[in-house]
């Protein structure tokens, strides 16, 4: 979709504050849609939460680190999860079990010693590096 000449506008006709990609306030928009999932209280959860962090000319916004910081802050407000998984467009996971194993390690850090002890393939190479 191409940006209109006059820029994007809000539903009430006012200019969208994110029209200037290098100078805008923070923006959080929740899109509910229809037939979405419900939370534990029966309230509809958003299908998409759009987060745009503040940018100002001459201010270092730390690129991906700044975006990750914004996502963590939003996640802390929306959930009480013990961790957050962030996969960006340039990330790729070769092992489909790696994410699960990482989450298990975060939940129980002592599990890694049991996993290494019981896996002969890992234990041999792991011990040789010590």
The binding site consists of 63-64, 88
For the chain, where are the alpha helices, taking DSSP H only?
63-78, 98-107, 111-118, 120-129
Annotated binding-site residues for Mn(2+) read 64, 88
Annotated binding-site residues for UDP-alpha-D-glucose read 63
Helix (H, G, I), strand (E, B) or coil at 42: coil
CA atoms of 70 and 79, how far apart (whole Å): 14
CB 24 within 8 A of CB 57: no
CB 84 within 8 A of CB 73: no
The total number of residues shown for the chain amounts to: 130
CA atoms of 55 and 59, how far apart (whole Å): 7
């Amino acid at each position: 979709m191409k940006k209109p000449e006059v820029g994007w506008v809000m539903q009430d006709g006012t200019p969208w504050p994110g029209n200037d990609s290098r100078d805008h306030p923070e923006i959080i928009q929740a899109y509910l849609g229809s037939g979405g999932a419900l939370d534990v209280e029966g309230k509809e959860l958003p299908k998409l939460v759009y987060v745009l962090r503040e940018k100002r000319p001459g201010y270092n916004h730390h690129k991906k680190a700044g975006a990750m910081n914004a996502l963590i802050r939003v996640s802390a407000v929306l959930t009480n999860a013990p961790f957050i998984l962030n996969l960006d467009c340039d990330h790729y996971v070769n092992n489909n079990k790696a994410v699960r194993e990482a989450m298990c390690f975060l939940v129980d850090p002592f599990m890694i010693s049991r996993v290494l002890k019981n896996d002969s393939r890992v234990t041999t190479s792991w011990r040789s590096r010590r």
